């Protein structure tokens, strides 16, 4: 499944746990890969430790509430070194 097919309300933000151990710890990430699914308000909806198949992620995203407006979107800050 292509990310584009999920629409503009889904964002993929890669985080390298070795670069951000604070964030990995806060999210309970102990393995790589790991995927954490958030809602538009920043609440954790699901956490996958290890590989998560596309159908699993699609199901988790399908259960997420739909954002109601621009104010409900998370700001995305990308840091690359």
pTM (2 decimals)? 0.67
Q: Report pLDDT for 7.
A: 66
Cis peptide before 33 (omega within 30 of 0): yes
What's the distance, CA 52 to chain centroid? 12
Query: With pLDDT > 70 as the criterion, what percentage of the chain qualifies?
Result: 72
Rounded-to-integer distance, Cα 37 and Cα 54, Å = 13
Q: Report pLDDT for 3.
A: 62
31 touches 50 (CB < 8 A): yes
- Which tokens belong to 50? 């290890």
Average pLDDT over residues 8-22: 86
CB atoms within 10 A of CB 33: 12
């Amino acid at each position: 499944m292509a990310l584009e097919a999920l629409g503009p309300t889904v964002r993929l933000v890669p985080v390298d746990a070795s670069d951000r151990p604070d964030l990995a710890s806060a999210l309970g990430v102990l393995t790589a890969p790991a995927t954490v699914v958030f809602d538009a308000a920043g609440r954790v909806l699901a956490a996958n430790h290890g590989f998560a198949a596309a159908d699993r992620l699609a199901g988790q995203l399908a259960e997420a509430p739909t954002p109601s407006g621009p104010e409900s979107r998370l700001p995305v800050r990308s840091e690359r070194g």
